[in-house]
Structure 1
Amino acid sequence: MLLSLKIENFALIDRLELDLYAGLNILTGETGAGKSIVLDALDAALGGKVSARVIRNGAERANIEATFSTNQAIAQWLESQEIDAIDAETLICSREITIKSNRTRVNGVVVNKQQIQELRDRLVEITAQGQTILLSQSAQQRELLDSFGDQAFNQAISLQRQKVAKLFETKERSRKALFERQQNERNRLQHLDMLRYQLKELAAANLEDPDELEQLESDRNRLAHSVELQKQGYAVYEALYQNDSGNACADLLGQAESILTEMVLLDREAEGILELVSSALAQVEEAGRQINNYANRLDSDPEQLETIEQRINQIKQICRKYGTLPEAIAYMEKLQNELAELTDQSISIEDLERKAESDLQSLLKACKKLTELRRQTAIALEKAQIEALKMLAMEKVRFQVGLYPVEPTALGSDHIVFEFSPNLGEPLQPLAETASGGEMSRFLLALKTCFVQQKTRQESQADAESSHAKVGTMVFDEIDTGVSGRVAQAIATQLWQLSRSSQILCVTHQPLIAAIADRHFHVSKEVVGDRTKVQIRLLELEDRKQELAQIASGKSAEQGKRKKEKGKAVLQQGTDDPALSQAIAFAESLLEQAAAIKNQK
């Protein structure tokens, strides 16, 4: 239940604190006095869409704070969101709006849009004038139908909807796979020819080693310079091992080794030097043998050189088309895999067609079951709605939930249409096409009544998933649009009955509805200095009489002010003004009538 609302620098409101009560809270005032501003502020505190334009002129920021009483379901939600409770009895939702940003908080903790929406659904249900437009939309009617009924039935529909949604996704995947395969089949042969041509070209090149090109270029350099390399090899051999002058490195080291051998016989200290020279001699001799073998192996071989040149050209031609050699090898492997997939006939088009048809039939079967559940819910909703409408002075009304087959979607295969006939002898027609403004208002109020009555019957069930369950506050913004007289009285009675199970905050222009309030607030605009601001005042009995008299007479604010001043004099001293006396008497009769209705319930 909404306990209080604090508003600062919001539209025409500079600072306002409003305490709310259980039961039926009515707000009245002239058109444009600011009644809807109060409701807009509450909507903003609960995450509603706002812009910086709502900040009062001259202020830097607007602040709204709504305090609610809490319950076990709210406490569990706070715990799931890791938000600390202020205490065991209250919850605070606040909104700070600046030019650059705005933040929504719950118990001082900043929350995101999804979080505040989840909490909002558990706290309030706001019925604004524009909601009658939403009510005429098939999607909204479907959601209302699916959420009506007891907890067990709601759960059955919810589970079936989930099953339908899952099967719809499966059907869409198989349909897409079949479509793509059919599209691919049209181009498959042409694509296969291209793949096979490229693979033939790559396979003919016999590409295996990513380093082959580098090795071939090395071999080409060696063969192209074989004569030069052979001459240089022999020159090295002569320098290291053997030449006609006897000055080869091996000869000189051999001489040094002989001298050192004689030295060691005289002084063993030279033995280490002898070992170094002997090792060097052995390495020089080995190097000489290897360079000689290398030079002997070198062969100019023009044919081999030409073969290598051809292979290099072949590989480079492949690389110009397919990238580097490693990339060409990788691409060839990719083509082989793609070719295998295209030639894989393990899953034929016929198999895909059978799979798509099977998935479609499974979806249709699930949709049929969902339709059956909806038909059962529709019967219950029709009965409850007609009873509620009859209480709102529509004794001859007919109402039916039409379920018309459509192509299956993730939401089922039903097009939901609320069909309505307010007058005897008139055919059922879609609600949006036949209901007047006043009839739409009554239809909406009756619908809310059905859901609240259903909730009341299920009070012991904690259905946190339903937007119509566990709602402590219901807000109605001019639900009485387009009605008067007996109909307005019926709406007043219905609102009062609803307020026995849920707190109601209602904006109205109807004296019949205002008279039945548990608490009656007057909203007005007043000029203070050079600024206009909105004020709200809780009316006591005598002030209520004046307000009801003013609403009934339809006087302007200035006329109403004078009338109230005269009215107070009438109540205190009496008057000779027949019109004024009649207005006051009418207001008193409304209050007496409202008291009688309350005493009967």
Structure 2
Amino acid sequence: MITSLSIKNYALIEKLSIDFSKGFSIITGETGAGKSIILGAIGLVLGKRADLTSLKNKEEKCVIEAQFDISKYNLKEFFQANDLDYEDETIIRREILPSGKSRAFINDSPVNLQELQDLSFFLIDIHSQQQTQELSDESVQFKIIDAISNNAETISDYQKSLKIYKSEKSKLNALLKKQSDSGKEQEYNTFLLNELVSAKLKSGEQAELEADYEKLNNVEIIKESIDKSLAIANEEQFGVFHNLNEIKTALQKIAPFSTEYQSLFERITSLSIEFDDISKELQNSSEKLLNDPEQLELVSQKLQLIFNLQKKHHVDSVDELLQIQADLGNTLLELDNIEEEIETLSKSIEQKENELNELAGVIHESRIQAIPVLSDKLIAILETLGMPNARFKIELTTVDTYFQNGKDELQFLFSANKGSDFGLLKKVASGGEMSRIMLAVKAILAQYSKLPTLIFDEIDTGVSGEIAIRMGEIMKEMSKTMQIFAITHLPQIAAKGDSHFKVSKSTIDNDTQSELKLLSQDDRIIEIAQMLSGANISDSALNHAKELLN
């Protein structure tokens, strides 16, 4: 429950601090006095968006702080999950800076608005006139039925299965599309792969083939050049070998005379040995050289095959062709595996459908059992609220679609008078009837919900007199198990409160301010008398106010 609220520099409020108690609290005040401002401030604490128009003084920041007693609401797991410090007396603070930036804190730990909204779900439900209209929304109606059905855990299990089911369906559709699209290309890809495999490509072979081609294609020129080189080297009188040996012999004679000549002798000796090796390699090459037109043709054909494949696949190397070959192999392997994947996924989806259908059936049956309970309770409460002939026909139909909360479609049909046909709630119920129905719904939900605080914002629209007294009694009864606030214009409801706050507005030095004040017993008599008779309070109004309070 909310135990205190402080507001600084918000709308028409310069500074305000107020404490709240458990039970039934009333908030009254003239139209425009600032009741909506109080709700707006609480809304900011609960995570609603803020803007600069919220600031009374645009040069200073706005600070709204609320304290909650959450000791009885099992929220420690929520705080741990969100890495927040848990306190039985938890403080939520919102700050709006002149720059327009907004900050939020839970027990002095900074949080984002989503975390604030998630926590507020467990703290306060603000019922407004707009929410009354939401009663005709199917999702809201399901929440009512499911609260009475105690379906929360089953729906949670259903939603987990539904998430997996949708994910697997998405994967299956993608595989089926891939299979369909790939089927058209599979034959062509198989042809390309076979073509590359039959080429028997090897990494680095293109350079070897090109070298072989040059040798085989120029064998006569190569042999002529090698033979000429060998002739020059081996000529008896003027050959390279002869001349090298002559130089070697001459240097050998002077080598002992200095290190310089010794070095030259050693070098010519090395050169002689190296040249001998070169000569032997030339001789071997000459012996190996053969004019082989058949081998030349084979090398030429293999090179042409490689060039053609490179051109077809728009690449420049054999390694790239080998990568394409590997990719095509993997693609075809994937296609071979797709059918197996589709079969496995289809079985899993079928299993998930059976699971969803079973859970949806449990949800449906519990709803079926809850419908007469809800209908009877609504009728009983509405009878006390001046609607003795109110009747409900709640129709639940199972369809083949998997919705987020099961497989049911729901219609709330309503008839307010004897002899009247049933019609959709939003079409046949008046504003006053909708207010009473909503109060009845909230009263019923209070028996099943653990929400600590409920704020009714003018739920008494369209009612008066004895009906207002009954509405006040219902809210009073609800306040035995939860904290209830009622913003009201009706004295019959105001008199039922355990505590009574008044919102008023005043103008000082051209500055309009709103304030919230806890009324004493005497102040309450006067306030309720004014609600009965207006500014000029009569004795009868005062007496009537005392009677209502008693």
TM over 0.5: yes
CA distance in 2, matches of 1:513, 1:346: 69
Residue in 1 aligned with 2:89?
Answer: 90
Note the C-alpha offset of 1:225.
Answer: 5.2
CA distance in 2, matches of 1:417, 1:390: 22
- 1:390 is aligned, of 377, 383, 390, to 383
Residue in 1 aligned with 2:440?
Answer: 446
Residue in 1 aligned with 2:431?
Answer: 437
Residue in 1 aligned with 2:101?
Answer: 101
Q: TM-score, normalised by structure 1?
A: 0.79
Residue in 1 aligned with 2:282?
Answer: 291
- Aligned pairs, how many? 545
Q: For residue 534 of structure 1, what is the amino acid of its counterpart?
A: S
Residue in 2 aligned with 1:476?
Answer: 456
Kept after mapping to 2: 8 A contact 1:174/1:359: no
Structure 1 226/18 Cα, relative in aligned 2: closer, same or farther at 3 Å? Answer: farther
Kept after mapping to 2: 8 A contact 1:388/1:450: no
Deviations 1:360-392 (A, max 9, x none): 455434322321122223343333333333343
Structure 1 residues 302-317: aligned runs within 5 Å: 304-305=295-296, 307-317=298-308
Kept after mapping to 1: 8 A contact 2:66/2:91: yes
Structure 1 84/421 Cα, relative in aligned 2: closer, same or farther at 3 Å? Answer: same
Note the C-alpha offset of 1:591.
Answer: 1.9
Note the C-alpha offset of 1:475.
Answer: 1.2
Residue in 2 aligned with 1:591?
Answer: 549
CA distance in 2, matches of 1:348, 1:74: 44
Note the C-alpha offset of 1:176.
Answer: 5.7
Kept after mapping to 1: 8 A contact 2:26/2:501: yes
Kept after mapping to 1: 8 A contact 2:105/2:111: yes
Q: For residue 216 of structure 1, what is the amino acid of its counterpart?
A: L
Structure 1 285/195 Cα, relative in aligned 2: closer, same or farther at 3 Å? Answer: same
CA distance in 2, matches of 1:180, 1:253: 82
Note the C-alpha offset of 1:423.
Answer: 2.7
| 1:423 aligned counterpart, secondary structure | coil
- 1:550 is aligned, of 521, 530, 550, to 530
| 1:501 aligned counterpart, secondary structure | coil
Structure 1 residues 499-510: aligned runs within 5 Å: 499-510=479-490
CA distance in 2, matches of 1:531, 1:296: 116
Residue in 2 aligned with 1:33?
Answer: 33
| 2:455 aligned counterpart, secondary structure | strand
1:8 aligns with 2:8: yes
CA distance in 1, matches of 2:345, 2:479: 58
Structure 1 247/449 Cα, relative in aligned 2: closer, same or farther at 3 Å? Answer: same
CA distance in 1, matches of 2:463, 2:271: 121
Kept after mapping to 1: 8 A contact 2:70/2:89: yes
Residue in 1 aligned with 2:132?
Answer: 132
1:407 aligns with 2:400: yes
CA distance in 2, matches of 1:534, 1:412: 48
1:243 aligns with 2:223: no
Note the C-alpha offset of 1:338.
Answer: 3.9
Kept after mapping to 2: 8 A contact 1:474/1:505: yes
Kept after mapping to 2: 8 A contact 1:9/1:59: no
Kept after mapping to 2: 8 A contact 1:125/1:473: yes
Structure 1 474/164 Cα, relative in aligned 2: closer, same or farther at 3 Å? Answer: closer
Structure 1 60/351 Cα, relative in aligned 2: closer, same or farther at 3 Å? Answer: closer
Structure 1 223/174 Cα, relative in aligned 2: closer, same or farther at 3 Å? Answer: same
Q: For residue 517 of structure 2, what is the amino acid of its counterpart?
A: R
Q: Which moved more, 1:366-375 or 1:105-114?
A: 366-375
Q: For residue 84 of structure 1, what is the amino acid of its counterpart?
A: D
Q: Which moved more, 1:355-364 or 1:383-392?
A: 355-364
Structure 1 536/289 Cα, relative in aligned 2: closer, same or farther at 3 Å? Answer: same
CA distance in 1, matches of 2:101, 2:479: 37
Structure 1 286/421 Cα, relative in aligned 2: closer, same or farther at 3 Å? Answer: same
Note the C-alpha offset of 1:399.
Answer: 3.1
- 1:519 is aligned, of 495, 499, 506, to 499
CA distance in 1, matches of 2:348, 2:5: 59
Kept after mapping to 1: 8 A contact 2:255/2:265: no
| 2:5 aligned counterpart, secondary structure | strand
CA distance in 1, matches of 2:380, 2:519: 34
CA distance in 2, matches of 1:491, 1:105: 37
Note the C-alpha offset of 1:548.
Answer: 1.6
Structure 1 259/335 Cα, relative in aligned 2: closer, same or farther at 3 Å? Answer: closer
CA distance in 1, matches of 2:183, 2:121: 58
Note the C-alpha offset of 1:75.
Answer: 4.4
Note the C-alpha offset of 1:22.
Answer: 1.7
Q: For residue 430 of structure 1, what is the amino acid of its counterpart?
A: L
Q: For residue 51 of structure 1, what is the amino acid of its counterpart?
A: D
Unaligned runs of 5+ in 1: 455-467, 568-579, 593-601
CA distance in 1, matches of 2:106, 2:167: 42
Unaligned runs of 5+ in 2: none
CA distance in 2, matches of 1:75, 1:192: 58
Q: For residue 528 of structure 2, what is the amino acid of its counterpart?
A: L
Note the C-alpha offset of 1:146.
Answer: 1.9
Residue in 2 aligned with 1:491?
Answer: 471
CA distance in 2, matches of 1:8, 1:223: 97
